[in-house]
Amino acid sequence: MRKLSDILTMAFILLAPLQARGVVDVYLQDVPDYAWKYGCFGTTVGMVMGYWDRHGYPNAYTGSINSGTAPLNSLGGNTEIWTFWATRAGYAGRAVTNWGHVDDYWGQNEGADFESPNDPFRTAGRTEHAPDCIGDFIGLSQYKWTNMNGECSGNLNGYVFNYWDTSGAARVDYRPGPEAGPELDAQSGIRDFFESRGYRGHTVSSLSDTHPLTPAGSGYTFSNYVNDISAGYPVVMMQQDSTLTNVFGDNPKLHAVLGFGYRIMDDGTERVRLMTSWGTGYSIVDWDGFTSLSPPYELRGVITFKPDPEVVSVVCSGAFTTVSWHGPQATLYSNGTVSSLHSYVLEGVTSLVSGSYNMVAGPLSTNVVTVTNTSASPMYYRVRKFVP
Given a cut of 50, whether residue 90 has pLDDT beyond it is yes
Distance CA 117, CA 364 (A): 50
pLDDT tens, residue by residue, 111-125 = 767 778 889 999 899
pLDDT band at 23 (very low <50, low <70, confident <90, very high): confident
Angle, vertex CA 58, rays to CA 56 and CA 62, nearest 5: 155
Given a cut of 50, whether residue 5 has pLDDT beyond it is no
pLDDT tens, residue by residue, 356-386 = 888 999 899 989 999 988 766 678 889 999 8
Cβ–Cβ < 8 Å for 26, 230: yes
Q: Name the residue ranges covered by the structural domains of the chain.
A: 25-307, 310-385
Given a cut of 50, whether residue 13 has pLDDT beyond it is no
CB environment 174-213: b (16+ within 10 A), e (fewer) = bebeeebbeebbbbbbbbbbbebbebebebbbbbbbbbeb
What pairing do the DSSP bridges indicate for beta strands 254-264 and 380-385?
unpaired
Average pLDDT estimate for 10-32 = 64
Task: Give the model's pLDDT for residue 1.
Answer: 40
> Which is higher by pLDDT, 28 or 146?
28
Query: Of 18-22, 101-105, 311-315, which gets the smallest average pLDDT?
Result: 18-22
Distance CA 10, CA 5 (A): 9
Average pLDDT estimate for 183-192 = 98
- 310-385 topology per CATH: Immunoglobulin-like (2.60.40)
Task: Give the model's pLDDT for residue 340.
Answer: 93
- Hey, CA dihedral for 304, 265, 287, 291, is it positive or negative? negative
Q: How many CA atoms are closer than 13 Å to the CA of 343, on its beta-carbon side?
A: 10
Task: Name the helix (H) or strand (E) containing 51.
Answer: helix 40-54
Task: Give the model's pLDDT for residue 4.
Answer: 36
Distance CA 193, CA 204 (A): 15
Distance CA 35, CA 56 (A): 23
Cβ–Cβ < 8 Å for 185, 198: no
Average pLDDT estimate for 188-213 = 97
Flag whether the pTM goes above 0.85. yes
Query: Of 171-180, 257-266, 356-365, which gets the smallest average pLDDT?
Result: 356-365
DSSP-assigned letter for residue 292: G
DSSP-assigned letter for residue 103: I
Average pLDDT estimate for 191-209 = 97
pLDDT tens, residue by residue, 272-285 = 999 999 999 999 99
Distance CA 163, CA 212 (A): 17
Task: Give the model's pLDDT for residue 2.
Answer: 40
pLDDT band at 52 (very low <50, low <70, confident <90, very high): very high
Average pLDDT estimate for 111-140 = 90
Which residues have C-beta within 8 Å of that of residue 342, sequence separation ≥ 6?
56, 232, 327, 328, 329, 330, 385, 386
CA-atom Rg of the chain in angstroms: 24
Q: How many CA atoms are closer than 13 Å to the CA of 13, on its beta-carbon side?
A: 6
Distance CA 296, CA 151 (A): 20
pLDDT band at 108 (very low <50, low <70, confident <90, very high): confident
Task: Give the model's pLDDT for residue 355.
Answer: 73
Distance CA 154, CA 37 (A): 20
Which residues have C-beta within 8 Å of that of residue 237, sequence separation ≥ 6?
256, 257, 258, 259, 272, 274, 290, 299, 301, 302
**258: Cα separation from own chain's centroid:** 8
pLDDT band at 388 (very low <50, low <70, confident <90, very high): confident
Task: Give the model's pLDDT for residue 17.
Answer: 39
